[in-house]
Each structure stands twice: as structure tokens, then as C-alpha cells.
Amino acid sequence: MELDDLKSAWQMLDRRLEQQSALTQHIFRQDRLARAQSKLRPLYWGQILQILFGMAMIACGAAFWTQHRDALHLMVAGLSLHVYGAATIILAGITLGKISRIDYSAAVVDIQKQLGRLGRFYVFNGLTVGLPWWLLWIACLMILATAAGVDLYAVAPAFVWINVAVGIAGLLATRWFLRWSRGPRRPHLTKAVDDALVGMSLRRAQRVLDEIAAFEHS
């Protein structure tokens, strides 16, 4: 075989290897991106459930406070559920919008940034929806008691105010713990708290993207 023929054969083989490598990388990327999308489905359906939960809170709160406008404490209890339900729906809707706007055709680093923004908002969503229950359970108890024919605040105002004080203390303590857990001397606690707040779906999706990044740089 002539030297020119040998060079030509090597060049053709090199091109085929590059094409095969590009095809393998493309197939791997598409498969992993599909997996990343599937990992976010529980988060998606969780937000749908949050919207339904918010609608239930609005229905319950609105029906209650509109029937008890003559009693300020009962009206406040109903309004608190009404406003909470609306906020819950809004936050879930924004989260769904961020999920749907993830551009899986973008570079991996850009998708990771989009997931990071989604994760940060999801943490805000979770804290906003969860922390008010330090106080909201009191409103729910008042509503249930009223349905049973008992005005809890009129019968036991000290009980209500003591639990309001406990709820406020719980809110402040939770906020303090979240800030304290992010101290530079507690990296393991910071990671544990962040993992708990972000949720399994986002962590799994992020791990899949890390696999793609590692494969593309290998």
C-alpha cells in the first residue's frame, strides 16, 4: 500500500471514529436528558397537588369568613386561610412555569443553572407554604370548633394567645436554625439541610446532569 493510500485510510478511519464518538455522545446526552426530565415529574405533580390544596384552603376560608363578618377573630381566622390558599396557588404556578421553561436543548451548564434557579425558588416555595402552619393550625382549630358550635376564642382566649405566642416563637426559632445551619463551620449540616429543602426530584435531576457533564469532559 502506498504511503498516500495509508494516510488516506487513516484519515477516513479517524473521521469515522469522530463520527462514532459524536453519535455516542449525542445518544448518551439525549438518554440522560430524558431521564432528567422524568426525575422532575414528581415535583411537577407535587405542585399540581399544591394548587388543589390551595383551592381547598380558599374555598374553606372564604366560606367561613364571609359568614362571620360580625366576629373579628373568626373573620381573621377565615381570611388567613383564604390568603394562604391564594399564596400557595401562586407559588405552585410559578414553580410549574420554571419547570416548563427549562431548555433541554441548551448546554449542560446552562441547564444546570436553570435547575439551580428552580431549586432556589422551590426552597422559597416550600418554606413559604410550610412555615405558616406554626400559626395556621390555630385558625383551622377555631374553624373546626365553630363548626361544632363552639367559639374557641370566646371560651378559651388564653389558650389561643398562648399558642399564637408558641407559634411565633417557633417561626423565629426555625428562621434562626436555618441561618445557623449555613455557618461556614458546619458544611455537613448545611448540605443536609439544603438536601432536605431542595427535595429528592431536583437532586436526582442534578445528578443526571452531572453525569452528562462528566461524560462530555471525559
- Tell me whether residue 49 is in a domain: yes
Residues (pLDDT < 50) of the chain are: 1
pLDDT of residue 62: 96
- Tell me whether residue 33 is in a domain: no
Look up the pTM and report it.
Answer: 0.82
| Cβ burial 18-32 (10 Å sphere, 16+ → b, else e) | eeeeeeeeeeebeeb
pLDDT of residue 176: 92
- Tell me whether residue 30 is in a domain: no
Under 8 Å between Cβ of 127 and 177: no
- Tell me whether residue 167 is in a domain: yes
Total Cβ atoms within 10 A of residue 41: 12
- Tell me whether residue 150 is in a domain: yes
- Tell me whether residue 85 is in a domain: yes
pLDDT of residue 4: 60
Which single residue is written with the C-alpha cell 391564594? 86
pLDDT of residue 214: 74
In degrees to the nearest 10, what's the CA dihedral of 141, 144, 145, 147? 160
Helix runs in the chain, H state only: 3-39, 41-65, 72-100, 108-130, 133-147, 152-155, 157-181, 187-198, 200-216
- Tell me whether residue 32 is in a domain: no
- What is the DSSP-derived secondary structure letter of residue 145? H
pLDDT in tens, 72-112: 999 999 999 999 999 999 999 999 999 999 888 888 888 88
- Tell me whether residue 91 is in a domain: yes
Number of compact structural domains in the chain = 1
pLDDT of residue 9: 59
Q: For residue 114, count CB atoms less than 10 angstroms from its CB and return exposed for 0-12, middle for 13-18, buried for 19 or more.
A: middle
Residues counted in the chain: 218
- The domain of 193 spans 39-216
